[in-house]
Structure 1
């Protein structure tokens, strides 16, 4: 009986451990600076690690987030990343950041981060932000107008957005709970897939005229 209880407890422990490591792994050493060269390196969660003794301050440093991004595009926004691709020392640490600039009435369109929760702080301007819950919670919109100094959280995996409702530029800084959170922009993914998704299928899925779907696919 004791053996059965032990095996059951051990199996539950293994299951809990596997669930806990479903996202960014917990570090097993102080640092694991990412490198592209695999020689004499260890492969960890998509990145090779250099010998910790060879780590340098520059591996943990990035400058330029004080500089505005270029918002001269059709959506009027710009994102500057500070993730493991820009800061190799972030590897295995489970965190990253972005600077987001918005032109007047610019928007960061509906998107998701498949591997991270996001916490956003407004530095300048006025933003209308929100996320939509899953089907389980009836696709409820949770939205709010934010001003300078306000903070808002977007839960992992949920569709969310930001829209500059002011007449001046807006700036925000966001932290994300992954070294490489990823981004899926909804419209780009659906209407800009390569090769394109069959427009007849999308027409039925979105309850749109097929010609409207074809026009959207042409734009993306």
Structure 2
């Protein structure tokens, strides 16, 4: 039975809103090594957030960007992450509606790379929990959905980790970048080269944005190249562009 891509995309969009809300929790808690379980609370006064105020996007709009308990401003990042995750889920469902394995890869990329990019952008760190959980979950899903693809994917990931881990000290990147790129290789296999090139271009563009903000070169002395956001955006892009032929070859 064929799947209606529009109906699947609509369902994926709703799921994206829910998962986007969860990603906001991960972005806030993982850097502080807090559990992802438990009820959300106001970061200022610790008052638990009511369920109807936690509705993705609509809750923020209803509250006009302020908490209901103490009127603390709520960052626009929260609805933006939820909306972006919803859109990306819908796109993934549209382009991969006939291939469960590629759809699983694209969804995994979104769920790992979105929080990775934002945490690194704000704090310049990459929680190991993200890429480890992403790698194990994706490996399990591919083993069930497409065992042949899973068997072909692991060598790319291991070689990428080995090579980039060995040269991490010579490049403007840390070992965390190598970890994330190895996960990207698990997702896109031989297209990891395309991911690297695209990531470099995106990172340079982000560096230009930072330079414009500082308005001079001297302000960049303590600013590293934003590699993780570039890797994250590039990985999501190439998982969405992938086809059965190109990824499974």
- Structure 1 length-normalised TM: 0.28
Q: Comparing both structures, which one devotes a greater share of its residues to helix?
A: 2
Who wins on radius of gyration, i.e. which is larger? Answer: 1
- Structure 2 length-normalised TM: 0.26
